[in-house]
Structure 1
């Protein structure tokens, strides 16, 4: 195995597991301890991982890191399900709702398939697919056009133009992160522009976001914390975050198991 191939294998192992030990890599790749340490040094110098005593770990997420939809959908599944179930209670029959891209809004879509006379606006391919696979004659689904992102959002000028003349009762906004300083953020510049247009189009803004989103910051702000009428999170949300959100948003809802 060439050095470049070996280093790529190491990097994939680190990204998949979050970290590796030198001893494990020596055994798996069949090379010397010194070779592995040299490989880790090269990868660390390139800013691809962080060397630690006895091995290496993955770097923390950057403000522009955008995991794919499949990777994100595997995270915090129980929390997202609770949040989605609680968010669905805010949707009345005969209304127009917008669902931005995200794995929590995708979970929400599955709780809305039985709501009659619903109009759904979305820039999410997976969200649109949920409704496509569960058709109703009294439902209208509008999927915006645009350029597809790693998180399966349709973004850019085409999406913005499609949304600009629309008006919805409620927007459920999926976010990469939220904080007092940065508000609700995304790691994708084009997605933030599209999401801001969705915020403008909505009478009510609901942000369904699990506790891991707190103090995570993407490169671009979609909206300030105070712009949300409702934030729905889970029991893992820290007490300081609850206090900050309670002071700044219209309503903070903690979705718990009994709901």
Structure 2
């Protein structure tokens, strides 16, 4: 390889690293468009950067590693990752919300996906500390409940208030006081990380405290987390696995993690696989 080609590769990798750090993550297809190079070239660059310890490869892209326990990607960066898995999880979790019940949704991109599916569940009272989740219901109500969420107007939405985080969640004393005063039939909880040892964790100390109050106010705790969250440990743990009633995840969860969760939790739901099994049964 010529010196000029080496220089081009170094420049390209510097741009990739800058993009990953600036946005909190980037997908391969986004980088190919931005750099006007092939998918294979970007993957080779990501491999090289990962070997240097400059970033961490994830399915379909890369995320920063410099501040593993405290780094908190922004909402936009996280929303572009694991889209198919999050949609499968949201669809499965929505079936667990009973009409007329009082539910809570924490912040996160998976609960944001879930909110769109909950528009079809009538007479819900939804308490959330997520600006994005509240916007889903408010937008549907403003549009007159047209489309898939034609019963959205029946939902009562309570936004907790508080201090906004990079992931567009509201935390702090105002949010905590609101949540402590309420009781939920079910909590749908997004997480930064989940592991057998650390339980549920987040890099944001204030968000950890708010999530503790969510867990303490719920009769049933349903964690919605794609497989990339397994083994990730944030700065602060806010709940143990013993406090989780149901984990809804996707088929990418490693077999050893499945075995661990099946042993530790009352219910493990693997979205996508469950739906495929139901379709096969109907065909038979």
TM-score above 0.5: yes
Distance 1:239 1:130, change over 3 A: same
Give the match for residue 118 of structure 2.
112
Give the match for residue 16 of structure 1.
19
Whole-angstrom distance in 1 between the partners of 2:96 and 2:175: 26
Whole-angstrom distance in 2 between the partners of 1:223 and 1:90: 21
Give the match for residue 79 of structure 1.
85
Q: Whose Rg is larger? A: 1
TM-score (norm 1): 0.80
Instruction: Confirm or deny: 8 A CA contact 2:140 2:153 kept in the other structure.
Output: no
Distance 1:253 1:143, change over 3 A: same
Instruction: Confirm or deny: 8 A CA contact 1:170 1:202 kept in the other structure.
Output: yes
Whole-angstrom distance in 2 between the partners of 1:10 and 1:210: 28
Give the match for residue 69 of structure 1.
75
Shift of residue 15 of structure 1?
Answer: 3.9
* Paired residue secondary structure (1:203): coil
**Structure 1: runs of 5+ lacking an equivalent:** 1-8, 20-27, 29-48
Give the match for residue 209 of structure 1.
225
Shift of residue 222 of structure 1?
Answer: 1.5
TM-score (norm 2): 0.73
Give the match for residue 165 of structure 1.
181
* Within-5 A mapping of 1:135-174: 135=141, 136-174=152-190
Whole-angstrom distance in 1 between the partners of 2:188 and 2:226: 13
Shift of residue 138 of structure 1?
Answer: 2.3
Give the match for residue 95 of structure 1.
101
Which runs of structure 1 show a deviation greater than 4 angstroms over 4 or more consecutive aligned residues?
9-12
Instruction: Confirm or deny: 8 A CA contact 1:82 1:257 kept in the other structure.
Output: no
Whole-angstrom distance in 2 between the partners of 1:240 and 1:137: 43
Whole-angstrom distance in 2 between the partners of 1:175 and 1:137: 28
Shift of residue 167 of structure 1?
Answer: 0.3
Distance 1:51 1:251, change over 3 A: closer
Distance 1:62 1:104, change over 3 A: same
Shift of residue 225 of structure 1?
Answer: 1.0
Shift of residue 50 of structure 1?
Answer: 7.9
Whole-angstrom distance in 1 between the partners of 2:70 and 2:14: 19
Give the match for residue 195 of structure 2.
179
Question: Could you report, residue by residue, the CA deviation over 1:100-155 in whole angstroms, capped at 9, with x for unpaired residues?
Answer: 00000000000001211100000000000000001144221000111100000000
Whole-angstrom distance in 2 between the partners of 1:11 and 1:226: 43
Q: How many residues are paired up?
A: 222
Shift of residue 220 of structure 1?
Answer: 0.6
* Paired residue secondary structure (1:202): coil
Whole-angstrom distance in 1 between the partners of 2:157 and 2:202: 24
Aligned-pair Cα RMSD in Å: 2.4
Instruction: Confirm or deny: 8 A CA contact 1:116 1:139 kept in the other structure.
Output: yes
